[in-house]
Structure 1
Amino acid sequence: MVLDQYSAIIFDMDGTLVDSGQLHEVAWTETLNRFAIPIDRPLMRSLAGVPTKQTIAMLIERFDCKVDSPLEEMNHFKEQVVRDNIHKYVKPTQLAELAKRYHGVLPMSVGTGAYTDEAEVILELCGLRKLLDYIVGADQVTKPKPAPDTFLRCAQLMGQPAQQCVVFEDAKLGIQAAIAAGMDAIDVLTAFQIENEYFL
């Protein structure tokens, strides 16, 4: 794939640059079971890319759950399960080759619904961190995906106009965020047959 018409590349992380669907499915399953929140697999898949706290809040409202634990505690529990299991599940997707090809040619960043610290660990573990100029996690923006803020922040950090950036995404909400940012979006399932194995 030739990207010469763009001045910068933005990757989503989970399900796009990194194969981590099973990691997050395990973490969510343990978390939702722990706090007695129903697991609706199609709903969970549709919420791919939405940060943990927002996802939990939406699930509690959707299923009218009576929970005693604060969102912060539930978020911390899920993050701990992710940390405990990262090494078992994550690996780069074929987009790693594209990132290697454009390293030093175009500025590249990751715009993710994960929190920055978690993204840094995952990308380092996959040997991808050194290829990327910036990581923008959900904790760095006021409105995460599907709002355009994450991708606009990537463009700002790279010093590039939004309309000159291309976004690689696997999730509908992420593609929506890229379009809202005025960027071209490439659906990695259609273009590369990369499918996020997440609550299939």
Structure 2
Amino acid sequence: MYDQYEALIFDMDGTLVDSGQLHEFAWTATLTRYELPIDRAYMRSLAGVPTKGTLELVMQRFDCLPCASLDEMNDFKENWVHENMHRFVRPTALAEVVKQYHGKRPMAVGTGAYTEEATRILTLCGLASYMDVIVGADQVKNPKPAPDTFLYCAQRMGANPARCIVFEDAPLGLLAAERAGIPAIDVHQVLNISNDYFL
């Protein structure tokens, strides 16, 4: 079905991995601990934004003065995810596409998560060994919605970005693919994959 593309690039959370509950509980715990408002619709709109960026946007939107440093809040959320990911994550139906194209096309994960976290989650889901490249937000200067993540995936695979295909679930991720000049599939609309959090 995707034979015309030179390489495949997957977002992770909400696309290749069902991790909705994990992130909902992690964000609820973090925002509650640091006395920040929980606006479910706004949190959904920030899907794909790295943790520090999300915290900064939440504080800006609600004009909050932080009761702790950005690093402390980031570490709390990331530690919560690390300690609980094994309870919640599982592969989505896109795992079948990954298995189908393993060894036939280079494949990458380009995610707003940090690389270490992404590697652990993909390993728990049995998907890490299928990936040629894993690019987390810590590997690029400007994470999604900037194009850097997907362009770096293509670069590391030695692929022409215009000949790749991106699988995404989040509006900001789809915008990142558009800015990178890479065709993209909205997995919500095309593949009926959905694991939104903060519903």
Deviating 4+ runs (over 3 angstroms): none
Q: Does the alignment pair 1:19 with 2:18? A: yes
Query: 1: distance between equivalents of 2:172 and 2:78?
Result: 22
Query: 2: distance between equivalents of 1:185 and 1:31?
Result: 32
Query: 1: distance between equivalents of 2:3 and 2:191?
Result: 18
RMSD between superposed Cα atoms in Å:
0.6
Question: Which residue in the other structure is 1:49 paired with?
Answer: 48
Question: Which residue in the other structure is 2:165 paired with?
Answer: 166
Return 5+ residue gaps in structure 1 as ranges.
Answer: none
Query: 2: distance between equivalents of 1:91 and 1:113?
Result: 18
SS in 1 for 2:60: helix
Q: Does the alignment pair 1:122 with 2:124? A: no
Shift of 1:197: 2.6
How high is the TM-score relative to the length of structure 2? 0.99
Question: Which residue in the other structure is 1:150 paired with?
Answer: 149
- Residue 85 of structure 2 contacts residue 121 of structure 2 at CA under 8 Å; is this kept in 1? yes
SS in 1 for 2:66: coil
How high is the TM-score relative to the length of structure 1? 0.98
- Residue 170 of structure 1 contacts residue 196 of structure 1 at CA under 8 Å; is this kept in 2? no
Amino acid at match of 1:76: D
Shift of 1:105: 0.2
Shift of 1:104: 0.3
Question: Which residue in the other structure is 1:175 paired with?
Answer: 174
Question: Which residue in the other structure is 2:93 paired with?
Answer: 94
Q: Comparing 161-170 with 58-67, which one deviates more in the overlay?
A: 58-67
SS in 2 for 1:14: coil
1:13-40 deviations in whole A, cap 9, x for unaligned? 0000000011000000000000000000
Return 5+ residue gaps in structure 2 as ranges.
Answer: none
Amino acid at match of 1:17: L
Q: Aligned residues, how many?
A: 199
SS in 1 for 2:15: coil
1:129-172 deviations in whole A, cap 9, x for unaligned? 00000000000001000000000000000000110110000000
Shift of 1:68: 2.7
Query: 2: distance between equivalents of 1:16 and 1:180?
Result: 19
Matched-pair identity in %: 63
Question: Which residue in the other structure is 2:29 paired with?
Answer: 30
Shift of 1:66: 1.7
Query: 1: distance between equivalents of 2:66 and 2:74?
Result: 13
The within-5 A match list for 1:72-87 is: 72-87=71-86
Query: 2: distance between equivalents of 1:66 and 1:89?
Result: 32
Shift of 1:122: 0.1
Shift of 1:76: 0.2
